[in-house]
Chains A and B, each alone.
Chain A
Amino acid sequence: MVESTAPSPSPLPTPVPATGSGAMSERARARRELILLLLRRRAFLIGVVVLVIWVVCAVLGERITPYDPFNAFFLPGHQPPSPAHLFGTDRLGRDVLSRVMVGSRDVLIVAPLAALLGVGVGTLLGLVMGYYRGIVDDILSRVVEAFLALPVILVALLTLVVLGSSSVVVVFVVGVLFAPIVARTVRSAVLSERQLDYVTAAKLRGETGLFILSREIFPNVLGPTVVEMTVRFGYAIFTVATLSFLGVGLQPPSPDWGLTVSQEYANMIAGIWWPTLFPALAIASTVIAINLIADSLQSVLNE
């Protein structure tokens, strides 16, 4: 028991790679090293596999579904899972498996866009706040905090009511509401870089703020930013699915997962669980996959 509280293992520095002047550039080599490290982690592999499955479904969509997700099969609805319909049929007789497969598309378009928007804006904000500090930082920090105090789903509800429900609005709202969190992470990364002597050295040779931020500091905060982006991606799916569930996101007849759950969950009491459970599991699996990837990225980058 004593050992578990001793200092963390390995005071040894990571072995310096042999420096033959290979044809591969330094950056490419570092990237390959990173990927190899990641591939060794089970969590990362699982995450990637699941994500890839859903991406394939989203891209190939109707071409690989067993049935047409939009056409009712003209059978009585709510058939339980069977060899013909692995996930059963929904209330309109549509094959649940096909709908689940295609349902990935909307989410996998909207969520990444929202995440990208949030990370883009947030990173810019974070860089500026962290580097220039002073009054700019003070004011922007207040604004960021105000945004953080807003309950995301509620504000999304409000905005969607005001502007009307559409995918564009969802992307915009979720993106803007995510930006402050990203800004905070990037800001603190910039703050710790800024104190390092190489920044002072750059100033002493007369570099402009823009140069220092973009060429000196930003490459070094890229790591945490990438991790943050992956995490935001997961949250974006989470949020978009919840909004669809609440009825203010994507609209019928979209086979979107959250929407499907909201349309069918009332039937659970009657014992018809399959049209609800499978889309729900689809959402869960996607977000878990992304979180596993993000977690692995973070561990590897911290080594």
Chain B
Amino acid sequence: MVRFIARRLLLAVITLWLLATIVFVITNVLPNNVGRTILGPFAPEETVNALNERLGTNRPILVRYVDSLRGLVTLDFGNSFVSGKAVLPQVVGAVGRSAKLAGLALLITIPISIAAGLYAARRRDRFADRAIVLLGVTLSSIPEFVTGTILVVVVGVGLRWLPVLATAPDNADVLTQIRFLLMPAIAMAIVYFGYIARMTRAGTIEVLQSDYTRTALMKGLTTGQTMRRHVVRNALVPTVAVIAVQIGYLFGGIIAVEKIFNYNGMGSTMLFAAQHKDLPMLTAGVIIIGIVYMLATLAADLIMAWMNPRIRLDAER
């Protein structure tokens, strides 16, 4: 297991480096003129050049590359073009707020999706199964901003059950905060329900068809006992992987949701940065979320490895 962890960490570091490089390529190699982008098409040439000089965008590529890597390692992502202040604290704060929303969404969707997946697998090809699969396919096709919109119209405006704006008043207690975050969280949870439920279903079906499930039933175990002791553990392994991957998509879709519900999380921050051409802010956001995704997949890989005795014991047989 130790060897596995070491190898996985090494790969993660390499991937991180590649990630940073890709971002660098986008911001520095693709044809663009930073000064021009900031000042707009009507600014005079000299002002643009002066700005570029100041921002250091005219230096040779290699120098800029090394600089960006150094910044990555020291966690210094530079200063915002808009506010002039250091970018990282702002991004981290925003990510933290988004994490609350994402966390609530996951908290809602994971138990329901897994339960649905298990239920569908048990009643395979019967009505309940088909309904759940269809529901999953349908719901996961709908972009978050669409579900958010529909929710707002139906639940927020029509039925008036939940507040429409997600930002609770300052110093609100946890329960109130949750009340405010509930609709956007549900909007996101709906999308991910489809993936997680279907993956759980597929994993469970495979386990249900396996020989060792047959052995358990032939020993005389009830289906309930079989499910609990033999099926669920093995079926959830691919689900763990899916959940990790979804965490990456979560932070993508969250932007749209935050816009609709007017929540000051990472999505809004990034959107603002995009509208104001604040490259350092955007870059930092991309890299931080990339790191979050990598950590999530790393954790998922480690969990799955731990659950697999072959890897856990490093046994060679």
Contacts and interface: CB of A to CB of B under 8 A. Distances in A.
Contacts of B16: 146
Contacts of B282: 154, 157-158, 161
Contacts of B123: 4
Contact of A242 (B18, B153, B256, B279): B256
Contact of A268 (B18, B30, B138, B149): B149
Interface in A227-256: 234, 238, 241-242, 245-248
Interface of A: 1-2, 4-8, 43, 142-143, 145-155, 157-163, 234, 238, 241-242, 245-248, 258, 261-262, 265, 268-269, 271, 273, 276-277, 280-281, 283-284, 287-288, 290-292, 295
Q: How large is the interface on B (under 10, 10 to 19, 20 to 34, 35 or more residues)?
A: 35 or more
B285 A273 contact: no
A265 B149 contact: yes
Given A43-B134, A162-B27, 7 more contacts: A2-B217, A4-B123, A5-B208, A153-B255, A155-B23, A238-B143, A242-B253
Q: Which of A1, A157, A241, A292 neighbours the largest number of chain B CB atoms within 10 Å of its CB?
A: A157
11 contacts: A5-B122, A149-B293, A154-B255, A154-B285, A155-B26, A262-B145, A284-B142, A288-B141, A288-B142, A291-B138, A291-B141
Contacts of B137: 288, 291-292, 295
Contacts of B289: 151, 154
Interface majority SS (helix, strand, loop, mixed), chain A: helix
A149 B141 CA distance: 21
A263 to B, nearest CB: 12
A47 B221 CA distance: 43
Given A149-B290, A157-B282, A1 B248 contact: no
A281 B249 CA distance: 22
Contacts of A150: 19, 22-23, 286, 290
B129 to A, nearest CB: 10
Contact of A154 (B138, B140, B217, B270): B270
B51 to A, nearest CB: 16
Nearest to A270: B157
B247 to A, nearest CB: 10
A245 B142 contact: no
B304 interface: no
Contacts of A2: 217, 223
B249 A151 contact: yes
A283 B138 contact: no
Nearest to B17: A146
B153 A268 contact: yes
Contact of A291 (B19, B140, B145): B140
A234 B282 CA distance: 27
B252 interface: yes
A43 B226 CA distance: 33
B37 interface: yes
A186 to B, nearest CB: 18
Contact of A280 (B21, B141, B149, B279): B149
A17 to B, nearest CB: 25
B288 to A, nearest CB: 10
A158 B286 contact: yes
A280 B156 CA distance: 17
